[in-house]
Amino acid sequence: MASEPTTVTITGGGGQIGYALMFRIAAGDMLGPDRPVRLRLLEIPQGMRAAEGAALELQDCAFPLLADVDVTDDPLTAFNGTRIAMLVGARPRTAGMERGDLLAANAGIFGPQGNAIGAVADDGVRVVVVGNPANTNALIAAASASPDIPSERFTALTRLDHNRAVGQLAEALGVAPGDIADVVIWGNHSATQFPDVSHAILPDGMPVLEALAERLGGEAAATAWLDDVFIPRVAKRGAEIIEVRGSSSVASAANAAIDHVRDEQLGTRRGLTSAAVVSRGEYGVPEGLVCSFPVTSRGHDDGYRVVEGLDLDERARARVAASVDELALERDAVRALGVL
Ligand code: NAD
Ligand code: LMR
């Protein structure tokens, strides 16, 4: 193998998304064809057998880039020297559980995992939180890893929402998804998110808004489609998948997590993408909230940077503010639990 393997830790390694992630990572889809990986799968005792079974299958694939696989239920072992941590395992919402109960249950997972990352991960670790409520779980993990690991190394996944928005636009415009650049997801990975197409363009530079107006019969029709169809569809796509499939998104979530880490590590290609990062006050979002913004990365361990200076009209600002208010409420609920 060419270089020292990069240690990638997946929590919830015995679960659905973990299973969809690990084979693609081992095949080189995330870090490229020249970077060998060492996988660490963290589970709780009940999930260990499933993770161990997946590890056997990984061995049977004989991936040239896969140096080794460890399965453990000990966070200190799982995060020891890790460079990329993908926090997928979370406590799902069950019948009768209030949002506060869900936040508390997940604080009990992401707090200790953040502590362990702070104690034993590589100084250059980058963390993406997938497990819901992803933004606030990332906030908890980042606070718990502080001061050993700077909070900007923690992100949460909104790339799935971003990809969903691109997919819906591509279908509406009759173009390929790769033709659409500069869509932005603002806010929380929840139904309050704001999928924003006002800066999106096609390869010839034509604004997506203009293309939609042409295709749908005028500006008013395009605005109505965005408000009544596109925004709710993207924002509630997770619920639609659960209803149609009978369980939450798996392959598309794993694919988005791979896109997120790949672009962060290797650099964004055309235009910007979306990721939830720790706010430094950009666009008036209170400092410290983990909020989805327009971002780019130059790769080379630079991480995601918020693209500043995009114009937001009054309606857009109100939509961003509504989602940011929800993030602030989640943060306050976690604070009230004494977690932050
Ligand atoms: P799953 O139930 O199939 O797997 C979760 C796994 O996590 C289980 O094997 C469980 O044993 C494990 N786990 C629980 N607590 C753990 C802990 N403390 N440490 C390590 N492992 C632990 O669920 P899934 O379908 O893989 O989804 C995982 C999470 O991802 C859920 O919270 C889901 O809501 C979320 N999700 C997020 C997005 C997104 O875009 N951000 C999209 C889809 C799903
Ligand atoms: C998704 O967006 O598909 C998931 O976050 C939905 C969920 O609640 O797991």
Query: By alpha-carbon position, which residue is closest to atom 10 of ligand 1?
Result: 12
Of 248, 252, 255, 274, the residue with max ligand 2 atoms within 8 A of its CB, to mutate for a pocket test, comes to 248
Whether ligand 1 lies within 6 angstroms of the CB of 36 is answered as no
Is the pLDDT score of 41 beyond 70?
yes
336 lines ligand 1 (CB under 6 A): no
pLDDT of the residue at 2 = 57
Give domain limits for the chain: 6-156, 159-335
| Nearest atom, ligand 2, residue 93 CA | 8
Q: Is the pLDDT of residue 140 over 90?
A: yes
CATH class of the structural domain 6-156: alpha beta
What letter does residue 70 receive in the DSSP assignment?
E
Reduced to 3 DSSP states, what percent helix, strand and coil does the chain have, rounded to the nearest 5?
50, 15, 35
Among the atoms of ligand 1, which is closest to the Cα of residue 160? 40
Whose CA is closest to 274, among 239, 304, 237? 304
Residue 42 Cβ < 6 Å to ligand 1: yes
pLDDT for residue 34: 94
Q: Please name the residue that has the structure tokens 């996944």.
A: 157
Alpha carbons 228 and 209: distance in angstroms, whole number: 15
pLDDT band per the 50, 70, 90 thresholds, residue 99: confident
Average pLDDT over residues 141-151: 97
Is the preceding peptide bond at 150 cis, omega within 30 degrees of 0? no
Task: Please tell me if the CB atom of residue 134 comes closer than 6 angstroms to any atom of ligand 1.
Answer: yes
Model confidence at 294: pLDDT above 60:
yes
CATH architecture group of domain 159-335? Alpha-Beta Complex (3.90)
Q: Report the separation in Å between the CA atom of 91 and the middle of ligand 2, taken as the mean of its atom positions.
A: 13
Neighbours of 60 (CB within 10 A): 8
pLDDT digits (tens, 9 = 90+) for 154-198: 999 999 999 999 999 999 999 999 999 999 999 999 999 999 999
Asked if the model's pLDDT at residue 61 lies above 90, the reply is yes
Q: Over pLDDT 90: what percentage of the chain? A: 93
| CA–centroid distance for 127 within its chain | 10
* Mean pLDDT over each residue of the chain, to the nearest integer: 96
User: Amino acid letter at 84?
Assistant: I
252 CA closest ligand 2 atom index: 3
pLDDT reading at 1 higher than 80: no
Residue 199 is among the residues annotated as catalytic for this protein: no
Check residue 95 and give its pLDDT: 78
DSSP states of 245-304 as a string?
HSS---HHHHHHHHHHHHHHHH---SS-EEEEEE-SSGGGPPTT-EEEEEEE--STT---
CB 79 within 8 A of CB 50: no
Please count the other Cβ atoms lying within 10 Å of the Cβ belonging to residue 44: 13
Look at ligand 2, atom 3, and give the residue with the nearest C-alpha.
238
What mean pLDDT is predicted for residues 79-92? 96
